[in-house]
């Protein structure tokens, strides 16, 4: 059994790249739809073997249902984003066939990251993903801000790579292998943990924190989110986070599971600072994309919290939260992609003023999603937070739970501020009406999802519990 | 007898009405068709809710009309609905006041009338859910969901500083209740059940009770509100539209008192004893201090808002004196305040609709202009003071009786509050209705219209019925409250 979906996706991406020069008229649309089909097929390939579990390429990669679950989540997100790109948001600077191809390659990177079972394969796939994302961020080349964001992202990203490599070398120096299995065996035979191993782990964790933009390694996030083309921001705020969390979970639970006491402390610091910075930093933002960056940091802190106990329930709750997080974020960004005034994209919070007057249905949908992000019951965001808090309190981490709920009140403040401008403020100039039927339906769909999750949370719990099982079966 | 799933029906019916309102394609402003569907929905919900007292078995202290639904597929996590003697009066109060609000809305026209009506129906559904939830999670979900429609009502249709007030209301109450969420999850983890009746069988160690008590207290003390957590209330009241104030004072404040009895007193009795002096202190301060503040208010609504804080001080005194008179007094005081303050806010709404101001100094000699209305307002004023024969008297009397048996000093000081309440309410009446006709009011104004007359008549009748024969409510609540008292340890306070 080969690592089929990734290989399929990579081959397709490369062959599309070869086709492009031979096409008579280089059309971004045809390539885009082709990519959509490719994503659809890879989704099929993943779902076909979702319960399959095997080490492949000499333990370089691993196939299991935990990975397959996250991968199919990524592919669903990728399909939606490509669809948004084709039908909703494609400013002139993005209308190039390369966009879809680089997008596909970054997806390959993410999928490989999740399957990695070795520090080396992890490093390579992470680089594949990151390099493609650097290009995507600075894709609108003539735009000064986009290029600046790309450079910033690249510099921080390369720093993260260096740190990761350094950590890897420390771990390799002590263990004598980079394979997760070997590390795991080494760890289980230890009586006391060597300090250098913990230092190595800290380096690796710092690098991954840079990827998931957990505070205090979040500095790049607001700038890059604001500078990147909106469609790329949509991508950045969702899919790479899933992939990085997949890596983080696999790395911490499997090879380093024995030293949970040590990394638990690090994660506690990361999670608390992310929640605090994510909620306080957003208070005075005026740009919607920048605000979403801080909102992401806050959510990341919340998710990291669930990893601290390192238990099966905790990881189940992370998976559930990720599903809800993706739907909420995609919903909000779908709206941001649709924000135009006189055909020009705008992203300021002031532009939302008085949206209710001009488009009541859209205003209602977006408010439901915002309330859900704020964690107000009975919406999906609340269910996610409830499940995570349940785990935290089960492990007697009351201090964390109290910080989590207090910061979520602060975070509620700025989500409610958005709703305030949508409903109560007088519009300066009205936004263009969304005349695109698909986005209306999709936005309604996202809102409806957030509204109805409370009726069947069991479905998500069962699904995620069954996939997490495979992660612990390896042990 | 075939058991009707009455509580789920009561919760779902307003949502169906809401769908009808959104389906009608008429334009806003007066929206007659939507008004009709809202009226029908709330009226039928009110009459359906009367099914509860008719079929209620008064001798059973436990929950009745229980319906439970699987939520997380496990036996320990089930949504459960049911009412006992404690919660049933509040369900009826909610359906009644929402109906009253909708009747009061009908002659008016407002911007976005459809959404206004829809918010009230949504609120009704959540309120009934909160009072009839008998598991912790659905209680919390309904309790918090109330914030959404209430936020919209204050922020959209309120006065000048509405946005600030809506914000303050939302964040204050959210901050209070998130700590309750932690307590709720902790209770679930500790006992493996979220069912409130089952929780009564367990006893917790004292020091854990203390923490949980503080967590629940933070939520309900903001909601009820107790001094010094009351500062959101005057703002919210002044800026909210009339119907919003009615619901806020009439029902939302009662959630706090209900929560105190249901959680702090029943589940955490030892901690309640420990904190009783603390509660006495806060309540006495609330009664005296906010009464003095009410004396100097220039805005009618603000005056009533501060008087609400003082009246709720009696409620907390009654609850934590933890004997049967005290609990009865608290329940009657809450129901009576629900009716009287609603009536006062409706009256102020009537005045506001005619003169477009709520400043006390603007008025004078209104009884010459609106003779019928001034009689109606006098009755509400006397009810609020607690004149014997009105419902306000019963609540205050029982409460003071209960407190006197526990602590004479507290009872003595809080009796002063009754005198103070008479002084500020009568002063309000004197300034607005008596004296010479103010120059501001030379315009011609109609006396009360048919909607107002019918509404006020019903409210006046209720005030007197409860005042003369409080047994019609107490007969329902007695057995449930006695059970709480039985489980309560004997205290020295």
Structural domain count of chain A:
1
Per-residue pLDDT, B66:
83
Q: Is B155 on the interface with A (CB under 8 A)?
A: yes
What does the pLDDT look like over B156-170, one tens digit per residue? 887 788 888 888 888
What does the pLDDT look like over A191-242, one tens digit per residue? 888 888 889 999 999 999 998 898 888 889 999 999 898 999 999 999 999 9
Residues 6+ apart with CB under 8 A from A73: A242, A322, A323, A326
Q: How many other CB atoms sit within 10 Å of the CB of residue B357? A: 14
CB-based contact A377 B151, cutoff 8 Å: no
Distance from C-alpha of A103 to C-alpha of A137, rounded to nearest angstrom: 11
Q: Which of A236, A186, A179 is nearest to A211 (CA)?
A: A236
Q: Does residue B228 lie in a domain region?
A: yes
The minimum CA-CA distance between A379 and chain B, rounded to whole Å, is 9
Q: Is B281 on the interface with A (CB under 8 A)?
A: no
For residues B296-309, give the mean pLDDT.
88
Per-residue pLDDT, A341:
81
CB-based contact B182 A405, cutoff 8 Å: yes
For chain A, give the secondary structure using H, E and C: CCCHHHHHHHHHHHHHHHHHHHCCCCCHHHHHHHHHHHHHHHHHHHHHCCCCCEEECCCCEEECHHHHHHHHHHHHHHHHHHHHHHHCCCCHHHCCHHHHHHHHHHHHHHHHHHHECEHHHHHHHHHHHHHHHHHHHCCCCCCHHHHHHHHHHHHHHHHHHHHHHHHHHHHHHHHCCCEHHHHHHHHHCCCCCCHHHHHHHHHHHHHHHHHHCCCCCCCHHHHHHHHCCHHHHHHHHHHHHHHHHHHHHHHHHCCCHHHHHHHHHHHHHHHHHHHHHHHHHHHHCCEHHHHHHHHHHHHHHHHHHHHCCCCHHHHHHHHHHHHHHHHHHHHHHHHHHCCEECCEECCEHHHHCCHHHHCHHHHHHHHHHHHHHCCCCCCHHHHHHHHHHHHHHHCCCHHHHHHHHHHHHHHHHHHHHHHHHHHCCCCCCCCCCCCCHHHHHHHHHHHHHHHHHHHCHHHHHHHHHHHHHHHHHCC
What does the pLDDT look like over B452-474, one tens digit per residue? 888 889 999 999 998 888 888 88
For residues B360-386, give the mean pLDDT.
85
Q: Does residue B493 lie in a domain region?
A: no
Residue of chain B nearest A454, judged by CA positions: B71
Chain A contact set for B145 (CB, 8 A)? 376-378
What does the pLDDT look like over A286-306, one tens digit per residue? 889 999 999 999 999 999 999
For residues B183-208, give the mean pLDDT.
84
Chain A contact set for B137 (CB, 8 A)? 386
Q: Is B191 on the interface with A (CB under 8 A)?
A: no
R_g of chain A, CA atoms, integer Å: 21
Output the six-digit token pair for A142.
């003539």
What does the pLDDT look like over A73-104, one tens digit per residue? 999 999 999 999 988 877 888 888 888 999 99
What does the pLDDT look like over A346-360, one tens digit per residue? 888 888 888 888 888
Q: Does residue B207 lie in a domain region?
A: yes
- Give the residue, A238 or A260, on which the prediction is more confident: A238
Per-residue pLDDT, A321:
93
Q: Which of A292, A330, A380 is nearest to A80 (CA)?
A: A330
Q: Is B189 on the interface with A (CB under 8 A)?
A: yes
What does the pLDDT look like over A389-413, one tens digit per residue? 888 888 888 888 889 988 988 888 8
Left (φ > 0), alpha (ψ -120 to 50) or beta: where does A403 sit? alpha
Chain A contact set for B163 (CB, 8 A)? 420, 424-425
Structural domain count of chain B:
1
Q: Does residue B1 lie in a domain region?
A: no
Sign, CA dihedral A151-A152-A157-A162, equals positive
DSSP state of B133: B
**Strand A340-341 relative to strand A344-345, pairing:** antiparallel
Chain B contact set for A393 (CB, 8 A)? 182, 185-186, 189
Residue A412's domain spans which residues?
A: 4-473
What does the pLDDT look like over B81-93, one tens digit per residue? 888 888 889 999 9
Residues 6+ apart with CB under 8 A from B20: B34, B37, B41
SS3 state of residue B1: coil
Q: Does residue B135 lie in a domain region?
A: yes
CB-based contact A406 B72, cutoff 8 Å: no
Q: Which of A302, A334, A297, A446 is nearest to A380 (CA)?
A: A446
What does the pLDDT look like over B8-38, one tens digit per residue? 888 888 888 888 888 776 666 667 788 888 8
Q: Is B175 on the interface with A (CB under 8 A)?
A: yes
pLDDT category of residue A154 using cuts at 50, 70 and 90: very high
What does the pLDDT look like over A159-180, one tens digit per residue? 999 999 999 999 999 888 889 8
For residues A247-276, give the mean pLDDT.
89
Residue B232's domain spans which residues?
A: 6-487
Q: Is A420 on the interface with B (CB under 8 A)?
A: yes
Residues 6+ apart with CB under 8 A from B198: B191
Chain B contact set for A377 (CB, 8 A)? 140-142, 144-145
Q: What is the mean pLDDT of chain B?
A: 85
Chain A contact set for B73 (CB, 8 A)? 458, 461-462
CA-to-CA dists, residue B223 to A417, B177, B227, angstroms: 22, 9, 11
Distance from C-alpha of A376 to C-alpha of A383, rounded to nearest angstrom: 9
pLDDT category of residue B173 using cuts at 50, 70 and 90: confident
What does the pLDDT look like over B404-457, one tens digit per residue? 888 888 889 888 888 898 999 998 888 888 877 777 766 666 777 788 888 889
DSSP state of B58: T
CA atoms within 13 A on the CB side of A240: 31
Distance from C-alpha of A217 to C-alpha of A248, rounded to nearest angstrom: 15
Per-residue pLDDT, B170:
87
For residues A445-460, give the mean pLDDT.
88
Residue of chain A nearest B172, judged by CA positions: A409
The minimum CA-CA distance between A58 and chain B, rounded to whole Å, is 41
Sign, CA dihedral B343-B347-B350-B352, equals negative
Distance from C-alpha of A181 to C-alpha of A230, rounded to nearest angstrom: 40
Chain B contact set for A451 (CB, 8 A)? none
pLDDT category of residue A51 using cuts at 50, 70 and 90: confident
Per-residue pLDDT, B1:
47
Helices (H), B253-365: 253-259, 266-267, 269-295, 300-321, 324-355
């Amino acid at each position: 059994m080969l690592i089929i979906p990734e290989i399929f996706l990579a081959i397709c991406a490369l062959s599309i790249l070869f086709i492009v020069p031979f096409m008579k008229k280089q059309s971004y649309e045809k390539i885009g739809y082709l990519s959509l089909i490719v994503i659809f097929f890879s989704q099929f390939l993943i779902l076909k073997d979702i319960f399959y579990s095997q080490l492949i390429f000499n333990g370089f990669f691993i196939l299991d249902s935990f990975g397959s679950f996250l991968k199919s989540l990524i592919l669903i997100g990728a399909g939606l984003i490509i669809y948004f790109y084709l039908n909703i948001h494609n400013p002139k600077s993005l209308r190039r066939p390369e966009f879809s191809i680089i997008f596909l390659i970054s997806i390959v990177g993410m999928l490989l990251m999740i399957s990695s079972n070795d520090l080396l394969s992890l490093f390579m796939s992470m680089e594949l993903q990151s390099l493609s994302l650097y290009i995507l961020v600075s894709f609108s080349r003539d735009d000064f801000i986009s290029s600046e964001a790309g450079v910033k992202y690249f510099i921080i990203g390369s720093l993260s790579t260096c740190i990761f490599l350094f950590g890897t070398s420390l771990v390799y120096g002590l263990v004598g292998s980079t394979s997760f299995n070997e590390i795991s065996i080494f760890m289980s035979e230890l009586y006391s943990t060597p300090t250098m191993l913990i230092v190595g782990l800290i380096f690796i964790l710092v690098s991954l924190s840079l990827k998931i933009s957990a505070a205090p390694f979040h500095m790049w996030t607001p700038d890059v989110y604001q500078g990147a083309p909106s469609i790329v921001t949509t991508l950045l705020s969702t899919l790479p986070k899933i992939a990085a969390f997949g890596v983080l979970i696999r790395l911490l639970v499997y090879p380093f599971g024995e030293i949970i006491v040590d990394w638990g402390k690090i994660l506690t610091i990361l999670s608390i600072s992310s929640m605090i910075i994510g909620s306080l930093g957003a208070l005075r933002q005026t740009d919607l994309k920048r605000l979403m960056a801080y909102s992401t940091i806050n959510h990341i802190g919340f998710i990291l919290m669930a990893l601290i106990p390192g238990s099966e329930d905790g990881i189940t709750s992370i998976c559930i939260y990720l599903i809800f997080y993706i739907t909420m974020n995609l919903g909000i960004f779908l709206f941001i992609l649709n924000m135009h005034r006189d055909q020009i994209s705008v992203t300021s919070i002031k532009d939302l003023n008085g949206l209710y007057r001009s488009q009541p249905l859209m205003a209602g949908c977006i408010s439901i999603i915002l309330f859900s992000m704020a964690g107000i019951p009975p919406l999906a965001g609340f269910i996610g937070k409830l499940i995570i808090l349940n785990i935290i309190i089960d492990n007697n981490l009351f201090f964390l739970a109290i910080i989590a709920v207090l910061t979520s009140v602060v975070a509620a403040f700025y989500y409610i501020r958005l709703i305030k401008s949508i409903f109560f403020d007088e519009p300066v100039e009205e936004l263009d009406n969304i005349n695109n039927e698909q986005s209306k339906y999709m936005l309604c769909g996202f809102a409806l999802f957030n509204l109805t999750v409370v009726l069947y949370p069991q479905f998500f719990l069962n699904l995620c519990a069954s996939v997490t099982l495979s992660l612990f079966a390896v042990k | 007898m075939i058991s009707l799933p009455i509580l789920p029906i009561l919760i779902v019916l307003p949502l169906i009405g809401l769908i009808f309102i959104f389906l009608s394609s008429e334009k806003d402003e007066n929206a007659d068709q939507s008004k009709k569907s809202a009226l029908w929905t709330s009226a039928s919900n009110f009459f359906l809710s009367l099914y509860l007292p008719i079929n209620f078995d008064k001798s059973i202290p436990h929950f009745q009309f229980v319906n439970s639904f699987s939520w997380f597929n496990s036996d320990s996590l089930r949504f459960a609905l049911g009412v006992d003697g404690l919660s049933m009066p509040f369900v009826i109060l909610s359906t009644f006041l929402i109906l009253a609000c909708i009747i009061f809305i009908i002659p008016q026209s407002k911007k976005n009338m459809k959404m206004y009506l829809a918010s009230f129906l949504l609120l009704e559904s959540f309120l009934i859910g909160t009072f009839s939830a008998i598991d912790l999670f659905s209680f919390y979900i309904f309790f918090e969901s109330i914030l959404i429609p209430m936020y919209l009502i204050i922020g959209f249709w309120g006065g000048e500083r509405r946005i600030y007030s809506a914000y303050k209301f939302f964040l204050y109450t959210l901050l209070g209740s998130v700590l309750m969420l932690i307590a709720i999850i902790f209770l679930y983890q500790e006992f493996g059940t979220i069912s409130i009746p089952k929780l009564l069988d367990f006893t917790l160690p004292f020091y854990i009770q203390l923490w949980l008590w503080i967590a629940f207290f933070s939520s309900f003390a903001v909601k009820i509100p107790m001094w010094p957590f009351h500062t959101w209330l005057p703002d919210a009241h002044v800026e909210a539209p009339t119907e919003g104030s009615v619901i806020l004072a009439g029902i939302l404040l009662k959630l706090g008192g209900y929560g105190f009895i249901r959680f702090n007193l029943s589940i955490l009795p030892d901690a309640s004893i420990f904190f009783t002096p603390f509660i006495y202190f806060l309540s006495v301060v609330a009664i005296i201090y906010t009464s003095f503040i009410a004396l100097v208010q220039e805005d009618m609504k603000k005056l009533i808002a501060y008087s609400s804080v003082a009246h709720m001080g009696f409620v907390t005194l009654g609850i934590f004196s933890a004997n049967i008179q005290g609990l009865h007094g608290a329940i009657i005081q809450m129901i009576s305040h629900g009716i009287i303050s609603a009536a006062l806010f409706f009256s102020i709404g009537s005045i506001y609709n005619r003169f477009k101001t709520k400043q006390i100094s603007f008025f004078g000699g209104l009884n010459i202009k609106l003779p019928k209305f001034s009689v109606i307002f006098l009755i509400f004023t006397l009810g609020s003071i607690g004149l014997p024969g009105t419902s306000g008297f019963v609540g205050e009397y029982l409460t003071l009786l209960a407190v006197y048996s526990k602590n004479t000093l507290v009872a003595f000081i809080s009796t002063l509050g009754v005198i103070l309440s008479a002084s500020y309410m009568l002063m309000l009446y004197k300034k607005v209705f008596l004296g010479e006709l103010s120059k501001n009011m030379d315009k011609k104004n109609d006396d009360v219209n048919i909607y107002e007359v019918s509404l006020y008549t019903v409210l006046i009748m209720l005030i007197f019925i409860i005042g003369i024969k409080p047994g019609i409510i107490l007969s329902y609540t007695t057995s449930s409250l006695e059970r709480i008292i039985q489980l309560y340890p004997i205290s020295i306070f």
